[in-house]
Amino acid sequence: MTHLRRFSGITSLRTFLARLWPHPLPVAKKQMAIASIGAGLGLMITSLTSHWLLGEVNLWFVAPMGASAVLLFGLPNSPLAQPGRLSAGTWSPGSSA
């Protein structure tokens, strides 16, 4: 009886952990490729422009621009991916520093 109870506990733990795992989204491979290429090109153009304007390697922009690229190219229909929110989210920390 104890053996069955322990087996049931392991099964319920596996079920619980399986529910925490994200379900795959029905996104076509073509859309994933377009989003990846768009984000990469956007980050590359931003990096080159920053290097051209400021004249040195600037690693400070990687995190905010990467997050914006994910929102803009990965989740374009998200309310956070709207142009005003992206601009405000990028410029507000820089203006307060």
Distance CA 49, CA 25 (A): 34
Q: Is the predicted pLDDT of residue 4 greater than 50, yes or no?
A: no
Q: Is the predicted pLDDT of residue 95 greater than 70, yes or no?
A: no
pTM score over 0.85? no
Residue 1, pLDDT score: 47
- Scored b (16 or more CB within 10 A) or e, 66-80 reads eebbebbbbeeeeee
Extract the tokens encoding 31.
């859309």
Q: Is the predicted pLDDT of residue 97 greater than 70, yes or no?
A: no
Q: Is the predicted pLDDT of residue 6 greater than 60, yes or no?
A: no
Residue 71, pLDDT score: 80
Reported as a single tens digit per residue, the pLDDT across 44-92 is: 888 888 888 877 767 777 777 778 788 877 777 878 777 777 777 767 7
Q: Is the predicted pLDDT of residue 10 greater than 70, yes or no?
A: no
